[in-house]
Every structure is written in structure tokens, then in C-alpha cells.
Amino acid sequence: MTAQDQIKQTVTSNDVVLFMKGTKSMPQCGFSSRVAGVLNFMGVDFKDVNVLADEEIRQGIKDYSDWPTIPQLYVKGEFVGGCDIITEMTLSGELDTHFADNGVAFDKQAADKIREANAE
């Protein structure tokens, strides 16, 4: 199975997937930590894929999405974005809507707390 096949199988067989450096319990870069932290805080059940464990997956995910950076978040097989996009979507409430529209369970109160904590 090629890296592309593995990636496709992973994103299509899991509702929410985060390709990241490290794991959801031990992120190994600040950007991965931020996105995993948001998902964990919001109680989203997600599959984490540590790109540091496999160079073919690390490069393959960039080719698969045509997106140059990691982390990368997928919901229902669709690429949503990297750290900056997920941060903006979280703060605007757009991520809540995206999860709700796709039937992904999350803690709305936790999402509201993130926005409250980041309000100007």
C-alpha cells in the first residue's frame, strides 16, 4: 500500500483526522499542539497521525492535500486547513458550524470558552 493509499484510507475511514507532528497526547510542535489542544478541549473524537514516525506519510500528506505545512485537519474526508485556518475558524465559530454540519460531536460550551478567552 502506498503512502497515498494509506492517507486516503485514513481520512475516509475516520470522521476527524489530524496529521500532526507528535500525538494528541504529546504534540511535538507548537502548531500541532494548538490544533490538537483545540480539538481535545472541545471534546472532539479524532484520529491523530504522527507524521514524524513515517517520512513517506509526512511528505505524502503534503502532496495529497497540495498544502505545504503540518498540521492538517480533515473532517469527513475533506481537508479543512492548517493551524492558522483552524484557529480562525475556532474563533469565528465557523469550526462549530463545520462540525455540526458534518455530524461531528463537540462540546459547544468548551468552544464558547475558547472564544471568550480570546475575546479582545
Distance CA 20, CA 11 (A): 13
Confidence class for position 120, pLDDT limits 50, 70, 90: low
Task: Convert the pLDDT of each residue in 13-28 to its tens digit.
Answer: 999 999 999 999 999 9
Q: Which residues are annotated as a binding site for [2Fe-2S] cluster?
A: 29
Is residue 49 within 8 Å of 70, Cβ to Cβ?
A: no
Task: Convert the pLDDT of each residue in 29-52 to its tens digit.
Answer: 999 999 999 999 999 999 999 999
95 SS3 class: helix
Every domain of the chain and the residues it spans:
3-115
> What is the pLDDT, as a whole number, of residue 39?
98
> What is the pLDDT, as a whole number, of residue 1?
87
Q: Which CATH number fits domain 3-115: 3.40.50.360, 3.90.870.10, 3.30.70.2740, 3.40.30.10?
A: 3.40.30.10
Q: Which residues are annotated as a binding site?
A: 29
